[in-house]
Amino acid sequence: MQYRTLGRTGVQVSTLVLGAMNFGPIGGTTQDEATAIVDAALEAGVNLVDTADMYGTGVSEEMVGRAIAGRRDDLVLATKATMPMGDERNHRGSSRRWLVTALEDSLRRLGVDHVDLYQMHRWDPLTSDEETLSALTDLRRAGKIRYFGSSTFPAYRIVEAQWAAREHHLGRYVTEQPSYSILQRGVEAHVLPVTEQYGLGVLVWSPLASGWLSGAVRAGREITTNRSKTLPRRFDTSLPANRARLEAVEQLAKVADEAGLTMIQLALGFVTAHPAVTSAIIGPRTVEHVRSQLAAADTVLPADVLDAIDSIVAPGVDLAPEEKVDTPPALLDPALRRR
């Protein structure tokens, strides 16, 4: 396992991070399976576990808490807030009112007295940066969080938050968690240059592109990834964007074969090769999944392989732009762009 410094924090983290989204209802992973996955990851040298309050409406945090019991001090623990936690309109977002409550709930479910990294799961357009950063700064001073970060923020919102922290003398986000893979490279154009400029640690999610880069999606074969059941449109090969992805996957498979790599090693080695990236988040559902992904822990792609990838999917290009989750709200809601 390789280790890198998380931004400018001085904290050393593994280049592969264990993501717990599949623990519980979302992925169907049971507690025994989750504990076995955590055991395998920690044994392989993973030292950062990432979850969120909305994963299974708190179930993932509870399962992580049970899985890490007795070894909390051996790992860096990260969770997130802001996504809806029920129907009550104020049980979401980045207001002080909600974040104080949400963090207490997360600590209780995790069975800990603090988290190392508390991330805003999405930008909340209804709440000012000053309000959010002020609350997070106070929670840090209270010892309930060590650092705080953002997740899937557009580049301009990352800049705005850094400016607000400086303007109001508040703590700043020290990490960003964007979606990044060989098939979705849009963050290379704007987000990653900004994170480098501000010295943010970067933990990328969906490096296997929801299973497209795991080897489970190939031409002429039945699609076996679990995500094809929960998000069927994302894997409907009658759609132009998915046909383009499938064509790219077939070409990438040839590159992997010629380099003596699995598709998983190619995909994870690609994202961790970018100088702005600290770590890649893996989200296994089973012990077999985590072992196949941990096999990529020491993968370093040579320049000719990276060049071959660039020739298949150009830098800065998203093959499925409609799936981007950091699109400015005004592009999605007509009411926000019309008088």
Fold of 3-332: TIM Barrel (3.20.20)
Low-confidence ranges of the chain (pLDDT < 70): 228
Query: Using a CB cutoff of 8 Å and minimum separation of 24, what contacts does 252-260 make?
Result: 252/182, 252/213, 252/309, 252/312, 253/215, 253/218, 255/305, 255/308, 255/309, 255/312, 259/301, 259/302, 259/305
Between the CA atoms of 42, 81, 118 and 143, what dihedral angle is there, to the nearest 10 degrees?
Answer: -120
For 295-334, the DSSP string reads TTTT----HHHHHHHHHHS-TT-BS-GGG-S---HHHH-G
Pairwise CA distance, residues 285 & 271, whole Å: 21
pLDDT in tens, 49-108: 999 999 999 999 999 999 999 999 989 999 999 999 999 999 999 999 999 999 999 999
Place of tokens 């988040």: 281
55: annotated active-site residue: yes
| This prediction's pTM | 0.93
The percentage of the chain sitting over the pLDDT mark of 90, rounded to a whole number, equals: 85
pLDDT, residue 72, reads 92
Model pLDDT, residue 236: 87
pLDDT tens for each residue of 131-168:
999 999 999 999 999 999 999 999 999 999 999 999 99
Torsion of CA 228, 229, 231, 236, to 10 degrees: 50
Catalytic position from the list 55, 118, 147, 173: 55
- The two counts, helices (H) then strands (E), for the chain are 12, 10
